[in-house]
Copies of this chain bind each other. A is one copy, B any other.
Amino acid sequence: MNSTQHDISSTENLARRQHGQDVLYRIDGDQGGAVIDSLADINPAMGHHIAAFAFGDVYDRPGLDARSRQLVTLGVLTALGGCEPQLKVHVGAALNVGITREEIAEVMLHAAVYCGFPKALNATFAAREVYTSLDQPQDPTVNAADRR
């Protein structure tokens, strides 16, 4: 694997991507594959690297538990600002790994001290959209990828 390492269709990279997608599914549930699929037409390499690198290489590392990873992710995404679509996916992932809605509220209040109330409010309202969606009967026609 060297001069063709960048080839996302090599046998080796297909295996790496598949493993990453498995991790992604475990954390994000059904939305996982949909995000990657949504990139297939416009930026398949980005989809590959989100699966193979972000989830297969990094998220799956044993040195930090999933709860801790999601707490860091919520902190980063709240602070960046303008990443509400990604924040909504990761609020869902946070619930999946056992972080409660009450804890998510505390995360965002805590973040407000360090990145200010406006970004913390945006994050809070993004979380509310996730909860509203979860509390309603699922609409199978909604494209999960739109929430990535």
A residues with CB within 8 A of B: 1-3, 5-6, 12, 15-16, 18-20, 22, 39, 42-43, 45-46, 49-50, 53-54, 56-64, 67-69, 71-83, 85-86, 102-103, 105-122, 124-125, 127-128, 131, 148
Contact = CB atoms under 8 A, between A and B. Distances in A.
A110 B59 CA distance: 7
Given A46-B105, A53-B53, A114 B59 contact: no
Majority-rule SS of A interface residues: helix
A74 B75 contact: yes
Nearest to A56: B5
B79 A82 contact: no
Given A39-B124, A57-B53, A121-B46, A80 B114 contact: yes
A86 B148 contact: no
A35 B12 CA distance: 27
Contacts of A75: 71-76, 79
